[in-house]
Amino acid sequence: MSPLTHLLASWIVAAKTTDNLRDRRLVTLAGVAPDLDGLGIVLDIARGALSNGNFYYYPQYHHYVTHGLPAAVVCSVLLAVPARRHWRVLGLAFLTFHLHLLCDLVGSRGPDQGDIWPIFYFSPLSRHPMWFWRHQWPLDGWQNRVITLALFVWALKLAVQMGDSVVGVINHRCDRVFVDVLRKWRARLTGANAESRQQPRGPAVHD
Ligand SMILES: [Zn+2]
């Protein structure tokens, strides 16, 4: 799935399971970390611009270097070190990392019809076992759009309730501004609804 979908999904898990902003950010980052091996696309684009080279690094390394158990262990340990609750973040980071793998397993097909992305669970140490799902839907399929939209709405709802949002993964100050705006919008909407409910009703219309 797309990095945005992974970000929203892992933030929601983090928001539901952590009690401080630092740990929330760390658990969320674990859910997007597997896509680090997709950064080869930057080199491919640069190569293409400079020498008309074909894509090489992205298809070669994406879903291989950091989409397996070894990277899950390393990533979880690294993220648990600066956490407030080390063991809890270790376990939750391991969980969101694997949620990412599961999401990729079900919804990352492409770009061509037959391009099913497998998960090499012990990669890059071994290509065995290789897991794939033959019903894997396209990366840009409607399923992913529906899931992303649902996660987005859920994340906004949680942000209004809890007072912090997925923006906090990037910057806490921007997050405060973002949540303030969300809460003002909600106050306006709920205020407008309350006002409309209090409006005196007109006389009943009879045929
Ligand atoms: Zn991925």
User: What is the sign, positive or negative, of the torsion defined by CA atoms of 156, 161, 164, 166?
Assistant: negative
Cα 172 to ligand 1 centre (Å)? 26
Average confidence (pLDDT) over 63-92: 97
What are the tens digits of pLDDT across the range 158-202? 999 999 999 999 999 999 999 999 999 999 988 766 666 665 544
Helix 3-17, helix 142-162: angle, nearest 10: 40
Cα 64 to ligand 1 centre (Å)? 9
Q: What pLDDT does residue 195 have?
A: 64
pTM across the whole model: 0.86
CA distances from 156 to 4, 30, 74, 162 (A): 14, 21, 31, 10
Q: What's the mean per-residue pLDDT of the chain?
A: 90
Cα 45 to ligand 1 centre (Å)? 19
Cα 30 to ligand 1 centre (Å)? 11
